[in-house]
């Protein structure tokens, strides 16, 4: 759509610098586009009067110190502009940013032009400029209510957690129910008792073709399985019936935020944050529509573009235009699903993550507008003359691939052409012991799906929820560990051992935890604490109802002050009562056994840094001794022998040629050997409990050699070094890293050059970051009731 360009001197303010560049390119002359770089104001931390509870929960805001320069630049730009357009995102946070910008920049909230768009394309921007609106204050009030609620929840409950829960760092309105889900699932798995049965399969042939049939029921035990196999040596296998039925498989809906995160996790193993970072970069580059949405709707223009592309590239029979109904109750149909802005663009993105996420989005969008796959499902019933039970073989063939042409995996399972009465030749019949499976651990994708089902969180918060519970040490991703068990297999081989049933015990792996989310001991203790003392506030229903109330406020049907009052009164009473909770009763502990050397108890318990072993208590005359839990063991299952072994560490293996001790121990990153300040990892097949002095010295020597090869130069007694890194040479002083330019020979760098490079380099990521710790607990007091 073409519109008349407004007069020159137009200032457009967006959230992201990357988005600003793309938009300015499309709008052209007469428009200047600047970025606020996200939020510019926040509720000041540590300010007891920041939220006026008695005054209707009104919040005081201040400009972020690091945003003062940005705000000053925006103020200058506003003075020079004829017209200001606020173009922040259309969700609650974006609307709140627009309001904060108007407040700080002195803009009239009731008249300043507010524009939104679901995609960064020339036509979408022209449409937005042609139809501006004003700031939606109902949406702003909803965001403020959410912010105040989360502030009160976190700032009042987190100090209780610090004081009462060993290793506890924080609690949050949404993260705590998410953690509870993981803890409950882990306990379901631990309480599960597997039951075994026997699955009987037969490999049969018809002419030169092979098929596999399966007994239509499982057998209870090995005796029943053997009894059945022993009846089969002289049996005749005959096709009793061949049933062929048509079937259809429909394509899935276009992506919402949640389904994109689920699919990227299950197909490519991407974390929710990785997926969202890639999607945000694609959106800011104008390649996809807005990536935070719970709608499955496609615009008329998108439907038409997809239809044209499908007809041109695949033919008319592949086209099936459809509009999917959004399932989420809070979704807004005016929003769109995530889709490419131009369906004909086959690849987009600056790196492999963005390219793969774009490919997912594009193929899913195309598939959603394509015809169903037409299938032919075949079931062959096989009669066995010596037993009453039938075997069954199933096949599936694709008659018309439809949407599977672009989206989906090969689902075909071929069977030979058979007719009733055909005689089949048996090759091998096996009865394999199988075990019932416990509930599956959550992955990031399946947890997001569960949160969405329960109404917990919103598209913009799923990745943050996962980040929080992982970064605080409440959950850890599985490392690919699996357990082993014995499984019996009985076999009747008509070729190798005709007429004989052989037995083999196989070792099989099960329960691989790769990619799964596993609650830590600290996470379990925290979840139990919250559920015991703050039951209502980690209840799934409370969290979901809060999201519904926030939607209600946005629609103008609920009062934010009433909602916050109803929450805060009972909540604050529990906070005050928490002062009487005895910390010693919080946490998990178990007496593993008696230390034979001292006669004192060996206790497995949760400490500040996680699960640990302890000999004795603080009340004993002799100080208690501490050790790590063995890897893969928990407080519940560590044995006395395993515990005693851990107290043998650190082991002194002997001395090097200079008389320095060579030690073996287990640290935060695993087992290692050490000589003074030189550390080398111990890797399989070597073991920390059996490694010898010679093996330890060999590892130390290899480490020193690797460090020497990495070293290029040192200055100021080693305070500044030039090193070879994974991505090339760099200069470091421990606080900053400066990459050596490609046109500079690192061996020619002197101290002056090194210092100049470091002066221009940024601080290492993570330094100076504000984190909630016990040190800052005193500063982070909850707002006092006025």
Catalytic residues: 290
CA distances (Å), origin 360, targets 264, 336, 708: 8, 17, 45
CB 407 within 8 A of CB 228: no
Between CA 63 and CA 66 the distance in angstroms is: 8
Q: Strand, coil or helix: what is 485?
A: strand
Residue in this structure with the two tokens 């700080």, named with its chain if needed = 104
Quick one: CA dihedral 490, 496, 500, 502, positive or negative?
A: negative
Q: Strand, coil or helix: what is 685?
A: coil
Helix runs in 28-136, H state only: 68-80, 92-104, 122-130
β-pairing verdict for 10-14 and 83-86: parallel
Tokens of 646: 């851990």
Rg (CA), the chain: 33
Q: Kindly write down the DSSP assignment for every residue of 323-354, as one continuous string.
A: -PPP--TT--TTS--B-BSSTT-----SSHHH
Between CA 68 and CA 57 the distance in angstroms is: 26
User: Per DSSP, what are the bridge partners of residue 628?
Assistant: 612
β-pairing verdict for 625-628 and 610-615: antiparallel
Between CA 180 and CA 302 the distance in angstroms is: 40
CA distances (Å), origin 729, targets 34, 606, 711, 785: 36, 43, 10, 56
Which residues contact residue 607 at a Cβ distance below 8 angstroms, ignoring those fewer than 6 apart?
166, 167, 626
Cα 440 to chain centroid distance, Å, stands at 16
Q: Strand, coil or helix: what is 107?
A: coil
β-pairing verdict for 113-114 and 83-86: parallel
DSSP state of 318: G
Phi (first) and psi of residue 265, to 5 degrees: -75, -45
From the list 691, 554, 312, 3, the residue with the least C-alpha distance to 546 is: 554
Between CA 591 and CA 635 the distance in angstroms is: 9
Phi (first) and psi of residue 528, to 5 degrees: -65, -40
Q: How many CB atoms lie within 10 A of CB 561?
A: 14
Tokens of 248: 């259809």
Between CA 577 and CA 596 the distance in angstroms is: 43
Between CA 384 and CA 202 the distance in angstroms is: 11
β-pairing verdict for 728-732 and 737-739: antiparallel
């Amino acid at each position: 759509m073409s519109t008349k360009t407004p007069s020159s001197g137009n200032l457009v303010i967006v959230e992201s610098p990357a988005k600003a560049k793309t938009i300015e390119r499309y709008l052209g002359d007469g428009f200047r586009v600047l970025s606020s770089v996200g939020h510019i104001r926040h509720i000041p931390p540590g300010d007891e009067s920041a939220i006026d509870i008695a005054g209707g929960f009104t919040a005081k805001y201040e400009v972020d110190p690091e945003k003062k320069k940005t705000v000053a630049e925006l103020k200058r730009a506003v003075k020079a502009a004829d017209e200001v357009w606020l173009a922040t995102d259309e969700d609650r946070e974006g609307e709140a940013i627009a309001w904060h910008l108007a407040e700080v920049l002195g803009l009239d909230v009731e008249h300043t032009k507010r524009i939104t768009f679901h995609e960064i394309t020339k036509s979408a921007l022209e449409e937005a400029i042609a139809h501006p609106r004003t700031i939606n204050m109902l949406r702003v009030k909803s965001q403020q209510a959410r912010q105040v609620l989360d502030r009160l929840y976190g700032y009042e409950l987190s100090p209780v957690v610090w004081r009462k829960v060993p290793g506890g760092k924080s609690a949050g309105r949404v993260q705590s129910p998410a953690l509870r889900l993981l803890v409950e699932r882990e306990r379901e798995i631990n309480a599960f008792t597997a039951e075994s049965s026997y699955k009987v399969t037969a490999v049969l042939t018809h002419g030169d073709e092979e098929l596999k049939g399966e007994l239509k029921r499982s057998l209870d035990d090995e005796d029943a399985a053997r009894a059945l196999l022993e009846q089969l040596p002289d049996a005749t296998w005959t096709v009793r019936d061949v049933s062929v039925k048509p079937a259809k498989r429909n394509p899935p809906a276009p992506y919402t935020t949640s389904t994109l995160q689920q699919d990227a996790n299950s197909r490519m193993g991407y974390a929710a944050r990785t997926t969202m970072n890639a999607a945000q970069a694609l959106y800011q580059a104008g390649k996809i529509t807005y990536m935070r949405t719970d709608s499955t709707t496609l615009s008329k223009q998108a439907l038409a573009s997809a239809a044209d592309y499908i007809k041109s590239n695949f033919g008319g029979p592949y086209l099936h235009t459809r509009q999917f109904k959004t399932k989420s109750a809070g979704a807004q149909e005016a929003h769109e699903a995530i889709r490419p802005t131009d369906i004909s663009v086959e690849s987009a993105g600056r790196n492999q993550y963005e390219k793969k996420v774009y490919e997912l989005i594009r193929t899913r969008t195309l598939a959603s507008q394509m015809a169903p796959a037409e299938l032919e499902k075949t079931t062959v019933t096989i009669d066995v003359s010596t037993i009453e039970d039938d075997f069954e073989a199933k096949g599936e063939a694709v008659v018309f691939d439809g949407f599977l042409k672009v989206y989906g995996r090969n689902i075909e399972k071929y069977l030979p052409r058979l007719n009733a009465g055909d005689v089949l030749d048996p090759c091998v019949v096996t009865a394999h012991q199988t075990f019932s499976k416990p509930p599956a651990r959550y992955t990031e994708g399946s947890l997001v799906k569960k949160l969405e089902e329960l109404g917990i969180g919103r598209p913009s918060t799923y990745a943050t929820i996962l980040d929080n519970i992982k970064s605080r040490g409440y959950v850890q991703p599985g490392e690919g560990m699996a357990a082993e068990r014995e499984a019996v297999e009985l076999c009747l081989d008509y070729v190798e051992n005709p007429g004989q049933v052989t037995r083999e015990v196989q070792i099989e792996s099960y329960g691989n935890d790769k990619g799964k989310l596993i609650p830590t001991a600290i996470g379990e203790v925290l979840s139990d604490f919250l559920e015991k003392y703050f039951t209502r506030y980690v209840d799934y229903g409370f969290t979901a109802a809060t999201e519904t109330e926030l939607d209600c406020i946005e629609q103008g049907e609920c009062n934010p002050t009433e909602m916050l009052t109803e929450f805060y009164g009972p909540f604050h009473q529990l906070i005050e009562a928490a002062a009487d909770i005895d910390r010693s009763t919080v946490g998990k502990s178990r007496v593993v056994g008696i230390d034979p050397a001292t006669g004192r108890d060996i206790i497995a318990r949760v400490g500040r840094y996680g699960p640990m072993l302890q000999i004795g208590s603080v009340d004993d005359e002799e100080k208690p001794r501490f050790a790590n839990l063995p890897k893969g063991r928990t407080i519940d299952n560590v044995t006395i022998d395993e515990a005693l072994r851990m107290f043998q560490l650190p082991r002194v293996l002997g001395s090097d040629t200079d008389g320095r001790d060579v030690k073996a121990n287990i640290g935060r990153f695993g087992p290692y050997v050490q000589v003074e300040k030189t550390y080398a990892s111990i890797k399989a097949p070597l073991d920390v409990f059996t490694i010898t002095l010679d093996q330890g010295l060999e590892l130390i020597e290899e480490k020193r050699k690797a460090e020497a090869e990495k070293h290029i130069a040192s200055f100021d007694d080693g305070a500044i070094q030039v090193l070879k890194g994974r991505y090339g040479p760099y200069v470091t002083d421990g606080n900053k890293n400066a990459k050596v330019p490609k046109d500079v020979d690192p061996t020619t760098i002197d101290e002056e050059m090194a210092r100049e490079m470091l002066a221009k380099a940024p601080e290492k990521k993570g330094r100076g970051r504000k984190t909630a710790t016990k040190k800052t607990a005193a500063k982070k007091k909850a707002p006092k009731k006025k």
